[in-house]
Amino acid sequence: MKAVILVGGRATRLEPLTCNMPKAIVPVLNTPFLEHVIRHLSQHQIKDIILAQGHLAQPIEDYLGDGSQFGVRLYYSIEDTPLGTGGAVKNAERYLAETFLVLNGDIITDLDITTMIDFHRKRRAKITISLAPVDDPTSYGLIETDAGDRITRFLEKPTWSEVTTNMINAGTYIMEPDVLAQMPPKTRISFEREVFPQLLARGEPVYAYSSPAYWIDIGTPEKYLQLHRDLLSGKCKQYAPALGKKVLVGEQCDIHPTARIKGPVVIGANCSIGRRVKLIGPVVIGSGSTILEDSVIEESVIWRNARLGPGVSLKKSIVADNCLINAKSICEESVLGDNVTVTSGSKLKPGSRIEPRTTVEAER
């Protein structure tokens, strides 16, 4: 079976992290997001993967290449203009002669794909959609089913008065190729709002596969941080690092003996952690980063080649590549795009979103 991963969106909800980087290669535990997804597919013997791309396509191909380093074969399907979820897969139709899998490109899950494929074949379904339970279904696509798991109704982003179930579209689909044959080429079209409801109206066998598997949409900085908390706590079994101990340190790191590290913490290669630094997990620090003396990092993710000066306080924040946070600055619940400079003594307002290549002056 082949898989299509939808990675063509602009990821505006994740800005400023995605101003210069496609969401598909945003680091998750210091590894590009899409690499985790590819390895998950490979574990289920899915080795032919098509990346449906649009915005910032070249950096993805530059990193992943032909996929051989991951034991898979990668193909690239580029859309010149945004085509929506359905149009993007239609654009890759030349690769899809048999039953295939579709994944939204902002989902991390430990869904048992092999079992879902078996379910699809036994039901002789035209489409099978993975479902997951959520506390608040009003932000998602709600799906109602009958006792035999056949879908009876779709409702996108319902109001609370319309909610009848907490089971929502979890962004993984198995499809038969003739679904694409009925769709117009080079046309913007949505699976969720157009194709799926139309198939249902025609009485086609559209089924739901419900699963308690871990699932998260990393579309916002808040969800991105939540993902790291979940991975480091082992909540998502598929991607949890091998934390035989609570601290993982990369090669050629220099950690001062007076530094205090409370896991879970992941430190990339070639990092320097100074005197009396406190790392209070969950914390992830990217390769080549430097944390100088007396700084306190708590529940945060730092990307590559960041430099934090003496006495910096960083809490529940995300710091992108090549940022410089100078002495005694305070960043709480903030997101810094790449190449941001925070001047000494600055205090960012909680909830700050700092665009790339910005210099933040004192008191903001």
Question: Known catalytic residue: 347?
Answer: no
- Note whether 241 and 233 are within 8 A (CB): no
Look at phi and psi of residue 56 and say left if phi exceeds 0, alpha if psi is from -120 to 50, else beta.
Answer: left
The b/e string for 49-64 (b: 16+ C-beta within 10 A; e otherwise) is bbbbbbebbeebeeeb
Shortest CA distance to 285 belongs to which of 251, 336, 319? 319
- Note whether 157 and 137 are within 8 A (CB): no
Helix pair 57-64, 33-43: axis angle to 10 deg: 50
Determine which one of 157, 186, 237, 349 is catalytic: 157
Read off the tokens for 272. 């320097």
Question: At 221, is the secondary structure helix, strand, or coil?
Answer: helix
CA distance 14 to 301: 14
Question: At 292, is the secondary structure helix, strand, or coil?
Answer: coil
Residues serving a catalytic function are: 157
